[in-house]
Amino acid sequence: MDGDAEPVTRCAVRGGVSRETGEGRAEMTLSTATVYTAGDCGYFPGVAALVNSLAVVGFSGKVVVLDLGLSDVQRMRLERVTQVVSAPSAGERDDRLAVSISAKSYLAQLSLSGLIVWIDSDIIITSALNDVVRQAAAGKICVIRDDWPEEAQRGFTEWNELFALRQPVQLRTYVNAGFFAFSTEAWPELLSLFAEACTRIQHDRILVNPPETNPFWAGDQDAFNAVLMSEVPADAVFHLHPSEMVGSRRMPNASIGDARRLNVTCDGRRVRILHAAWAPKPWTASAWARAAPNLYLQLLPRLFFAADVPLRLERSDVAPWLWPGFAGVAVRRVGVGLGVLRTTVGRAARKLPSGMRSRVFALRNRLDRWLGSR
């Protein structure tokens, strides 16, 4: 991690965002920060893994979960160890995709104060957040580069008009919106600006290729970056080292040193964030073809069932390959074999005549659905 930033001692304003900090803010401790996340009934295991990982790495602040559609039982279980609040607009929208994509923008409706850390519910935290909180207390907005390939640079000058920004977009490092931290005292308008930008997302263009020419491809992440690149001075943004976040692309490059302590390294550096950004999520039955080992998946049984976690799950909460002990290991090994077989069949089928190829893929798809329903 880079060295601590110098405390800001004077007020700076750009685009209506106030940045006023002092020596006193740097004295804030980890317990003064609040972690926010969100989830619905399908993301309950991911929320539990995040909450438990925070406990393992020693986070002592409050954790707040935005309820996007949890079951009554799931909400009750979470309320034993976190604060759960209904997402302000979730009940008014029929479009669940739109609700989930805009989840973090709901923070603007909660009248928040203090040090805010947002973490997506498909993330595991594997090292302490103390230095992140110190940077936020000093007036910085803490972010991390997104895991696009190193040569890729994402940003659009047309974001200025599309998101109705007040300042011109200055193309800079494109960051991941799944993890960020800041002080509401230093940046009182950040969440409202982000929420306003999210209202202008064209949802029918999210994840529509090609991403290189689609300024809405990443949804709320594009809105977040547009706000940072226009309304926030470059020197107010603190970037964690890119190796501190390992996403789906880089999982094979990382290794577990101590699963009990969530000690993970990548490229010789301690990892802070494991992000299972791709779908389907590994705790769901439909992810059977991805049961092959990766770091996020390997740590889930420890986070779901170990005696030292505050929110222990039941086996019925997760797919069989995440069960503890021999049973889970055995199912994971079967899943690895089936996944390899599935990939091999797919590659071979592409070389067949079109009629036979279609029948093979249809059979494979039926197998996918059957296994996904187990």
pLDDT digits (tens, 9 = 90+) for 215-248: 999 999 999 999 999 999 999 999 999 989 998 7
Distance CA 124, CA 114 (A): 23
- What's residue 334's pLDDT? 65
Peptide bond into 211 cis (omega under 30): no
pTM equals 0.83
The stretch 67-88 carries a mean pLDDT of 94
- What's residue 97's pLDDT? 55
Domain boundaries defined on the chain: 12-244, 282-372
Identify residue 287 by its one-letter amino acid code: A
> What is the crossing angle of helices 44-56 and 295-305, to 10°?
80
Most confident of 58-62, 244-248, 319-323, 368-372: 58-62
Q: Which residue has the higher pLDDT, 20 or 303?
A: 303
Asked if residue 30 has pLDDT above 90, the reply is no
Contact 64, 88 (CB under 8 A): no
Give the rounded percent of residues in the chain with a pLDDT score beyond 70: 76
Query: If DSSP codes are grouped into helix, strand and coil, which group holds residue 268?
Result: coil
Q: Exposed e or buried b for every residue in 234-245, given b needs 16+ CB within 10 A?
A: eebbbbbebbbb
Asked if residue 3 has pLDDT above 60, the reply is no
Q: Pairing between strand 245-246 and 273-275?
A: parallel
Asked if residue 176 has pLDDT above 80, the reply is yes
Q: Exposed e or buried b for every residue in 114-147, given b needs 16+ CB within 10 A?
A: ebbbbbbbbbbbbbebebbbbbbbbbbbbbbbbb
Asked if residue 26 has pLDDT above 50, the reply is no
pLDDT band at 128; cut points 50, 70, 90: very high
For the stretch 310-366, pLDDT in tens is: 999 999 898 887 888 776 666 666 665 666 566 676 677 777 787 777 776 677 667
The stretch 167-176 carries a mean pLDDT of 94
For the stretch 112-122, pLDDT in tens is: 999 999 999 99
Query: Looking at 89-93, 139-143, 145-149, which range is the least confident one?
Result: 89-93
- What's residue 371's pLDDT? 56
pLDDT band at 292; cut points 50, 70, 90: low
Contact 31, 61 (CB under 8 A): yes
Contact 229, 159 (CB under 8 A): yes
Provide the mean pLDDT of the chain: 83
pLDDT band at 92; cut points 50, 70, 90: very low
For 308, counting Cβ atoms within 10 Å of its Cβ (0-12 exposed, 13-18 middle, 19+ buried), the class is exposed
- What's residue 65's pLDDT? 97
Peptide bond into 210 cis (omega under 30): yes
pLDDT band at 159; cut points 50, 70, 90: very high
Protein fold of 12-244: Spore Coat Polysaccharide Biosynthesis Protein SpsA; Chain A (3.90.550)
Asked if residue 278 has pLDDT above 60, the reply is yes
Instruction: Give the helix/strand (H/E) hosting 265.
Output: strand 263-266
Contact 89, 104 (CB under 8 A): no
Distance CA 327, CA 77 (A): 25
- What's residue 254's pLDDT? 87
Instruction: Give the helix/strand (H/E) hosting 170.
Output: none
Asked if residue 256 has pLDDT above 60, the reply is yes
> What is the crossing angle of helices 44-56 and 72-79, to 10°?
10
- What's residue 300's pLDDT? 93
